Amino acid sequence: ETGVTQTPRHLVMGMTNKKSLKCEQHLGHNAMYWYKQSAKKPLELMFVYSLEERVENNSVPSRFSPECPNSSHLFLHLHTLQPEDSALYLCASSPRRSSRDTEAFFGQGTRLTVV
C-alpha cells in the first residue's frame, strides 16, 4: 500500500462511452501525475498537476481530460476512446520540491480496455 488509491481497478468501455478514472492520495503531496503504460512500452507521462494547477500536458489527445479539484484528488475523464487507448493508467503523487527527491508514489493502476 503506497498511499495512492485508484478506482476502478479494471474498466471495459465502448468507444462511445464516457467514463472517469479516480485517484486519491493522503500523503500530503502537492504534485499528481497520470501515466500510461501500453503493452511493451515504457511508462509515458500524460499530465502533471502541481498545487492543483496543470503544469504539463504531454501532447495527450483531447479525448483524455484531467481534473484536479484539490491536492488529494485527481480524475481522468475519458470520452470517445479508441481501442489503441487500451492500457494500464497509473496515477502517482510526489512532494512538490524544487531540488532532488523527485520520488513518485504510484497507485495500483486502472486496467482499461476499449472495445
Least spacing, CB of residue 82 vs other proteins, in Å: 23
Residue 15 or 55 having the CB closest to other proteins: 55
Task: Decide: residue 36, CB within 10 A, 0-12 exposed, 13-18 middle, 19+ buried.
Answer: buried
Residue 108 Cα to chain centre, angstroms: 11
Give the shortest CB-39-to-other proteins separation in angstroms: 11
> Do the Cβ atoms of 65 and 54 come closer than 8 Å?
no
Residues numbered 16 to 75 that lie near other proteins (CB under 8 A) are: 31, 33, 40-45, 48, 50, 55-56
Q: Decide: is 11 part of the binding site for other proteins (CB under 8 A).
A: no
- Locate 32 and state its grid cell: 499528481
**Smallest gap from residue 103 Cβ to other proteins (A):** 5
